[in-house]
Amino acid sequence: MNKVIVILLVCVCSIFASVYPASGQEYVGPLGWNPQLFKNSEVEVTDRSARKTAAALTLPFFEDFTGYDVFPDTYKWADHQVYINNTMGAGTVSRGVATFDALNSHGLPWDSYSNINFRYADSLTSRPIDLSASTIGDSIYFSFFYQPQGNGFYPLLQDSLILFFKNKYGGFVKIWTTPGASLRPFQQVMIPMTDTLFYHSDFTFRFVNKAALYWADAVWNVDYIRMDRNRSAGDTTLTDVGFTSDPTFLLNDYSFMPYNQFMANPAGELATHVADSIRNSGPSSQMVNYSFKVTDDNGGAVLSSGGSPSAVPFTGYQSRMVNSPLSIPSFPVYPPDTRVVFNSTYSLSAPFSGRTANDTIVKQQVFDNYLAYDDGTAEKSYFLVLSPTLDGRIAVEYHLNQPDTLRGMAIYFGRQAPVPNYMTFNIFVYSALAGINGAGADAVLDSQEFYVPAYTDSQNQFWIYTFDQPLVLPAGTFYAGTQQPAASGDDTLYFGLDVNRIGGNHAYYNVLHAWDPSLISGAIMMRPVLGRYVASTSIDEVSSAGPKWQAIPNPAQDVLNLQMGESQSSSLFRLTDMLGHTLLQGRAVNAQTIDISMLVPGMYLLNIITDGVAGAPQKILKL
């Protein structure tokens, strides 16, 4: 068999193994994009250009990626393709990792069109380090920790993580590499600097990952990079005690909610304890004190404090969650619909804590105009596989402590290649789901028809879909989610999945005319938007740059007339029912008539496709 064919078969088998079902119809797939990088990339490029003239670094070099920026520290790093975060690592050595994947510095796939190509993807390049005054006798070692997969998708066997050193002639030499693998603990690598070619004033090192594009995010995490003199092959000990994860939210179930909803039942919504993970990375036992303080971001008033009543023993290499009771005797009063922020500051101390940057972490508890179970970051995607003749529905259970107004839904989508702008979905709101919590039938409160997925906005990287009319909801339980029409290619619509969710996901799905509790671990990232008016990031805004057209009259009885400001020979029209079934199609030109006399009265969708790309459709009412 041809070698190329064999390689492709291996790739395809690995690809299908990397997208796996959570149940019969629920699947978890790669995220496919990173809006955290997309939102911040232009700011980072501007900031980085101002620092190109920085002086060369000197030893020791150390980086544990502890911070709050999504890009590497520009004083240490010359590029910004990796993602600095505290959510993709599993069992981290220290808070913060550098994540390599198949997404570029804008958080988009390196190749949005090819699904099977392998190529060099992300790089992490140090700024020059002056080693001109050093010699082999200085016993310089370079070390780091790495992990495949983490909380994302594992890199395929054909993928790899590679380390290069720059020699005195300006060339980069491959020093170390490892093939793709499934999840494993962080491993430390020790590399001696024994070649004189690397002892020069412009020494640079570079990590690069080679990835199978798009099918999986091909995640690698790198952490705790150290380079210094007077080291040995046995210098693997880390004398460090620090936080390894983000603290828990101050709420006991929701991660975010409106302040007025919280204040309607603070005793029921406030968590009884707060928790965080601390790791002793050294071999010797440590006595650790930890504390937390909650303050109101507006004015800084202390609302709560606590921590360990006495030092807590941590044995060597031990990592564990520490819990502290949470009590807030009184809460500040704010006008309705005010965005309120509480700052939670967590600190620790130990006799030999080592690095101090990871001894303190600040987390914000935000009260805003939406309900959420997720933390705002997605590590994977969630999707349904549907029958060709049946629709698919997802519904997430929420509760209100007092009546409120539902303005719309904010949804976080996983990106797909090609971009699924031909897919459609509807939004449904229910007061009951058949067979769930004793309900005998679905009770639909509202439905909003025909939306298409989109990927960015100015608020938390969610796309906001506002309702035609606000929906007043009583206190109590309601369900909100999506319907994906049958037979329209919508069965693989990806929704963001926060795999770091602690607690139940409150999610249900329906693909065979019955609701089932979701078996996935994590939160599907759909957020009801409540209270004050919010502007929609509607798909019409995205499509405004495309060709303008409309069909008149609307409503219509027998004939539609196309009015196109710009006729193109490659344009086609497609008229479908609300389930996506194609009823009429043909060439689209200005002043063309479309006979709809044979259609039964009702609502239809008309779209214009130019060069294979469909824009935003128009709803057509047939009389």
603/623 Cα distance (integer angstroms): 9
Tokens of 8: 């492709």
260/340 Cα distance (integer angstroms): 10
Higher-pLDDT residue of 96, 604: 96
Global pTM? 0.78
Average pLDDT over residues 262-277: 97
β-pair partners for 548: none
Among 17-26, 145-154, 313-322, 522-531, the range scoring the smallest mean pLDDT is 17-26
407 pLDDT higher than 90: yes
Among 68-77, 283-292, 429-438, 584-593, the range scoring the smallest mean pLDDT is 584-593
Q: Given the structure tokens 């971001």, which residue do they identify?
A: 297
Average pLDDT over residues 81-108: 88
pLDDT in tens, 11-40: 333 333 345 555 558 888 766 555 555 444
pLDDT confidence band for 616 (50 / 70 / 90) = low
Higher-pLDDT residue of 353, 398: 398
Q: Given the structure tokens 């008229």, which residue do they identify?
A: 575
Q: Helix, strand, coil % (nearest 5) of the chain?
A: 10, 40, 50
pLDDT in the model for residue 44: 44
Among 140-154, 305-319, 525-539, 542-556, the range scoring the smallest mean pLDDT is 542-556
Amino acid of residue 93: V
pLDDT confidence band for 343 (50 / 70 / 90) = very high
pLDDT in tens, 306-316: 999 999 999 99
Indicate the average pLDDT of the chain. Answer: 85
Closest CA to 126 of 203, 54, 201: 203
Report all structural domains of the chain as residue ranges with CATH numbers, in order of start: 54-236 (2.60.120.260), 242-367 (2.60.40.10), 380-540 (2.60.120), 546-622 (2.60.40.10)
176/172 Cα distance (integer angstroms): 12
pLDDT in the model for residue 539: 42
Residue 52 CB neighbours (<10 A):
9
Higher-pLDDT residue of 557, 260: 260
pLDDT more than 90, % of the chain: 58
219 pLDDT higher than 80: yes
Closest CA to 326 of 300, 365, 360: 365
Average pLDDT over residues 505-512: 94
107 pLDDT higher than 90: no
**Residue 476 region, left (φ>0) first, then alpha (ψ -120 to 50), else beta?**
left
pLDDT in the model for residue 274: 94
72 pLDDT higher than 60: yes
pLDDT in the model for residue 214: 52
Higher-pLDDT residue of 55, 123: 123
Average pLDDT over residues 562-570: 68
511/197 Cα distance (integer angstroms): 62
With helix as H, strand as E and coil as C, how does 373-433 read?
Answer: CCCCCCCEEEEECCCCCCCEEEEEEEEECCCEEEEEEEECECCCCCCCCCCCEEEEEEEEC
273 pLDDT higher than 80: yes
Closest CA to 533 of 374, 407, 396, 619: 407
pLDDT in the model for residue 545: 38
Scanning 270-336, the segments in alpha helix (DSSP H) are none
pLDDT in tens, 179-210: 999 999 999 999 999 999 999 999 999 999 99
pLDDT confidence band for 429 (50 / 70 / 90) = very high
Closest CA to 490 of 426, 397, 574: 426
pLDDT in tens, 450-496: 888 877 643 347 889 999 899 999 999 999 999 988 755 555 788 99
225 pLDDT higher than 80: yes
Average pLDDT over residues 229-241: 94
Among 85-89, 509-513, 541-545, the range scoring the smallest mean pLDDT is 541-545
pLDDT in the model for residue 63: 95
Closest CA to 255 of 575, 581, 527: 527
pLDDT in the model for residue 602: 78
8 pLDDT higher than 50: no
116 pLDDT higher than 70: no
Give, in order, the Cα–Cα distances in Å from 466 to each of 137, 436, 463, 537, 603.
67, 27, 10, 8, 20
Tokens of 320: 């564990």
Higher-pLDDT residue of 389, 97: 97
pLDDT more than 70, % of the chain: 82
Closest CA to 235 of 189, 277, 273: 189
258 pLDDT higher than 60: yes
pLDDT in the model for residue 613: 59
